[in-house]
Structure 1
Amino acid sequence: MLCGFPFTSRDPGVDVRGWAADMLGKRGRAHYTCVCRSANEKSYRIGHVPWDIARPHPALKQLVETGRMSVGTVFEPGPGLGDNALYLASHGFRVTAVDIAPAAVDTLRARAASMGLGIEVYVGEVVFGLDSVRSGFDYVFERSFLQTLPPVIRPRYVERLERLLKPGGVYVGIIRGP
């Protein structure tokens, strides 16, 4: 076990391997939130962010530019460096974003400020945290967040999103994999 706390059904142990093991320099078992926070923070600090495409996702742009996503409030889990959040805010959306990595949040805040955009950005854990984030969003937009979650945690994530969306709100997910 890489972290010293007992595993629970709320935050189960996961195998640390692949990219996360490379970032942490260790393998073993750890809480999902511990692995995610530590590996993502290191990735952003050293500038090795292999999932970042350095532009808004083309599918998101298409939704906005064709009017299929009309201006409203958006919650984005795991915005990373913020290309999608910045794009949405620049098109009139009111964006709230939460990332587990302080370095990513700092970067997104700085980018938003330099562009004169008002984005609410918080450091936090989306599945088990978010006590300070209001609900009632028109949209939840995510790119590749769900697919990173261990299957045992995914139902809790979906429940969280249901609580964040207003009645009739829309989930927009760009996801791949099982």
Structure 2
Amino acid sequence: MRAAPEGSHGGGDGCTGPGEHLIRAGYTLGGDDGCIANARRQALAFLGQAEADYPLSVPARARNLTQLVVSELVTNACKYAPGPVMVELGINIHTVDVVVWDSDPFMPAARTTDPDRIGQHGLEIVQAVSQTLLIEQQPVGKRITARITLFDPPTTEKPGDL
């Protein structure tokens, strides 16, 4: 995995403007049997590196959601797209961005909720746990960006309100 401060290479990722991330890292997966577990490990290592290098704390909830989103998006890419899968992670003081590129030009959409359906809930899950989900067609394949908040927004409920 290659990690670099945001200013060291240019361009946005579809959800953020240039210069917004504290750190970004990218890596390519070959689509073999261990690639999904490897992607989750890379995500955890990235979050740990961000905490070590910056005055930043990644709550367990955000850490777990990042692993879940990476797992779901990489699983879909490995299952449906031929060739390598590219993953990019970016973080700032508010959010973690997970970006997955693959070679399949098919533009997926989250299906409507169906508790009787077995499987094919990955994009639904990603959409439910992400602040933003952006799917973009690329010259070769597609890019999916999911933004995960580091902290839950404050609630307006008072104790005793239910």
| Superposition TM-score, scaled by structure 2 size | 0.28
| Structure 1 or 2: more helix by fraction | 1
Q: Which structure carries more relative contact order (alpha carbon 8 Å, separation 6+)? A: 2
| Superposition TM-score, scaled by structure 1 size | 0.26
